[in-house]
A and B are shown apart, each in its own frame.
Chain A
């Protein structure tokens, strides 16, 4: 396959940035999207240029590092996949592909396609944990009964890999799907109850502080989420935050 890539190039956080076109030849349909970018970077390096900076790590869809807004969608046209799981067979020979970084004031561009997602880390630090006494008397988690459907729902919320596709897809750059998943994975379980009210309050406050937008309930986040995080998590967060605020948290 021969393709034309329109790639966002930005030398650093202060640079204005611009789109640049790159032709790539002989792309195999079996390549992952990232392997295709690797190929392009090899070509750029051979030509003496500066390779395109992009985030990636596990390349098996579990780490959440790879980002890229491809042809107007987070992680490209596929559903339930990260960019490393997107294969070139999703495109046709001669296609023109536009590749941009996640766009959000809370995710500033570091270089080219790499953005700083540490805002998510600060939201987790603000309350996305359970305080457990580790003095040696730790209760075995399996000794606490949890109904299977509830455990499954909590697990589904916990599958969020924090990639930021929800923020990138949302027309408001809202982080509510991410935050609500991280709130829900604890709110559903007995271990999460003692800090349930303070957790949702702190995490929402931190989310606002980071400059993410509001939720218009378009549902774009859940459609583009590689892990299929459900909108019911946002409703749970809305409920919990209202209750926590009413309780004077």
Chain B
């Protein structure tokens, strides 16, 4: 019927944004579940966390999920940049006076900036832990790569950039929080999933998720740092 390809349409780009975004929300939950083991003190915690890290890098099903996650991150970023570029082109001459706060939330108006902060964090985060775990030199403990010691040493007062790392981590989680508070419920809207009864529940869940998950993530390096003072 139409000449335009589905994938080229503005709506298809939104579906992709929503699907990858919501998938990455499930990734966050999995990641958080593992990280929370850093709250377990002593040798027991070290063993539990290292076993988790081993499981995440070797178990076949998790491997498939991890490739899906890499792809989602990549598509989410590329799609986001394409959408932003198109949106910028749609208003080549801006307003002299624009009162965005009068009709929309701050996070909804700054998803691109928030996403960029998260992307920058992601590069540094993966370089510090993911790259080291996969390709770097790792200390060993009880026959496992000792990621636990690496994490503790990184978020430690002994580390010259330990405090900066903790502050940076917390700030990145704040950006993630704002991104999620809008993005979670926005994903459902983009996919057309809106219902007078369920949408308020989705919005509340989005708030809980968007504040709760980053807060728990951020609490870990703070706890580790303070605990090692």
Contacts and interface: CB of A to CB of B under 8 A. Distances in A.
Interface of A: 6, 8, 19, 69, 71-73, 77, 98, 100, 103-106, 169, 171-174, 198, 201-202, 204-205, 207-209, 211-220, 223-224, 231-232, 234-242, 245, 249
Contacts of A214: 10, 13-14, 83, 86-87
B103 A201 contact: no
Interface centre among A8, A198, A234 (most CB of B within 10 A): A234
Contacts of B43: none
Given A232-B194, A235-B192, A242-B191, A207 B10 contact: yes
A245 B6 contact: yes
Contacts, number: 145
A237 B91 CA distance: 23
Contact of A169 (B1, B2, B13, B103): B103
Given A72-B100, A205-B3, A215-B14, 14 more contacts: A6-B96, A72-B99, A103-B93, A104-B90, A105-B89, A198-B1, A201-B1, A215-B10, A215-B190, A217-B108, A217-B185, A218-B103, A224-B103, A231-B189
Contact of A173 (B87, B111, B190, B192): B87
16 contacts: A72-B98, A77-B102, A103-B91, A106-B90, A172-B90, A173-B87, A174-B87, A208-B9, A211-B89, A213-B86, A213-B87, A213-B90, A214-B14, A216-B111, A218-B105, A238-B189
Contacts of B182: 217
B97 interface: yes
A198 B1 CA distance: 7
A132 B9 CA distance: 29
B12 interface: yes
Contacts of B111: 216
A18 to B, nearest CB: 10
Contacts of B92: 105
Contacts of A171: 87, 91, 100, 104, 109
Given A171-B109, A242-B11, A205 B86 contact: no
B94 interface: yes
A60 B3 CA distance: 40
Nearest to B187: A217
B192 A238 contact: yes
A205 B14 contact: no
A171 B95 CA distance: 10
A80 to B, nearest CB: 13
Contacts of A201: 1-2
Interface of B: 1-4, 6, 8-15, 83, 86-87, 89-100, 102-105, 108-109, 111, 182, 185-186, 189-194, 196
Nearest to B12: A245
Contact of B90 (A169, A211, A238): A211
Given A72-B99, A218-B109, A220-B104, A213 B190 contact: no
Contacts of A106: 90
A219 B9 CA distance: 21
Contacts of A209: 4
Contact of A235 (B12, B87, B194): B194
Q: From B13, B91, B97, name the one whose CB has the most chain A CB atoms within 10 angstroms.
A: B91
Contact of B96 (A73, A100, A105): A100
Nearest to B106: A218
Contacts of B108: 216-219
Quick one: which of B9, B10, B14, B182 has the most chain A CB within 10 A?
B10
Nearest to A225: B103
Contacts of A72: 95, 97-100, 102
User: Which 4 A-B pairs give the minimum distances between C-beta atoms?
Assistant: A239-B192, A72-B99, A213-B90, A235-B194
Contacts of B10: 204, 207-208, 212-215
